[in-house]
Chain A
Amino acid sequence: MSRFLIPFGIFIVVVGFLAVGLTLNPRELPSPLVGKAAPDFSLPQLHDPGKVISSNDLKGKVWLLNFWASWCGGCKDEHPVLNHLAQSGEVPIYGMDYKDRREEALAWLKEWGNPYSIVAVDEPGRVGINYGVYGVPETYVIDKAGVIRYKQIGPLREDILEKKILPLVRELQNQ
């Protein structure tokens, strides 16, 4: 009997490992920046290149930082979700136009709507590197003290917003 029990036991263990391992998404890496201060930036604004938007100006409120680009397909998928969130007025969304061309970015926002309070332009992608961005869209929840509290890799969806982001935002706003 034990002749069969041992291979069967091993089989069950292997199945257990595979059941967990194969359902994980290897593209979703845990960010070491969650819980740490959001990297500072000072960048020209998309709609008004003469003006600068700096992360220091945003201290004292809870805000979302959304990395996007006009060349990015996933950004188009999540855009209705952002527009919807912006309409609710629950939390300001700041855009980071990542490695993009100004005219194309402006045209893209004109076509699909602009949910952003202000859009910063990160043309060389350096701020992206400081935030550990490796694929747009990525969205960060940043608290009043300027600490990153959550990172969403890939497009936002309504259910992620309802279950994770908005409860967190409300909790941080009440702090």
Chain B
Amino acid sequence: MLMLLFPSLASAYEAQPLAANPQVEARLKVLAVELRCLVCQNQTLADSNAPLAEDLRREVREMIAKDMSDKEIIDFLVTRYGDFVLYRPPWKPTTTLLWLGPFLLLGVGATGLVVALRRRQKKLTDVTLSEAERHRVEQLLSEGANRP
């Protein structure tokens, strides 16, 4: 974390590309946008310049070079850093609310809207005026019309 404050120090540790192998780099690119940098938590592994992100890219590159599958590489990181390292959290009992929450809120909002609209419609149509009220309305309207 602190190495961010000392870029000169950080650059000393910059991982050298293992091989300028375009296939490895292409797979790294695809994987790295799915993975979170643990230091700058709102950046992907692809975006981040944190030294840890450099190291993790190096690890991922090596695993790609060893021909490991995407799942094996992701499992490697999840066993060490937890689900937090994934930008797409997995579907689990603990993440149910995370996945369903937005739809739940949408449902509650939509129901509220329908109820409110129905209620308003009822108010607009069902109200009848008594004779005295009608008279008062006419009086008020004509008063307004007589004003300069």
Contact = CB atoms under 8 A, between A and B. Distances in A.
Nearest to B13: A99
A131 interface: yes
A99 B51 contact: yes
A58 B51 CA distance: 30
Contacts of A134: 38-39, 52, 81
Given A71-B6, A71-B9, A129 B56 contact: yes
A129 B59 contact: yes
B2 interface: yes
Nearest to B108: A10
A26 B81 contact: no
A125 B52 contact: yes
B80 A129 contact: yes
Contacts of A147: none
Contacts of B51: 99, 125
Interface residues of A, number: 23
Contacts of A130: 80
B148 interface: no
Interface in B77-104: 78-82, 84
A34 B84 CA distance: 15
A67 B134 CA distance: 84
B35 to A, nearest CB: 12
B3 interface: yes
Nearest to B55: A125
B102 to A, nearest CB: 14
A135 B1 contact: yes
A9 interface: no
A32 B75 CA distance: 12
Interface string B48-87: 0001100110010000000000000000001111101000
Nearest to B58: A124
Contact of A32 (B3, B9, B56, B80): B80
Interface of B: 1-3, 6, 9, 13, 38-39, 41, 51-52, 55-56, 59, 78-82, 84
Given A29-B82, A126-B59, 16 more contacts: A27-B41, A29-B81, A29-B84, A30-B82, A32-B79, A33-B79, A71-B3, A125-B13, A125-B52, A126-B55, A128-B55, A129-B56, A134-B52, A134-B81, A135-B1, A136-B1
Sorted from nearest, which 3 A-B pairs have the closest CB atoms? A134-B38, A132-B80, A32-B82
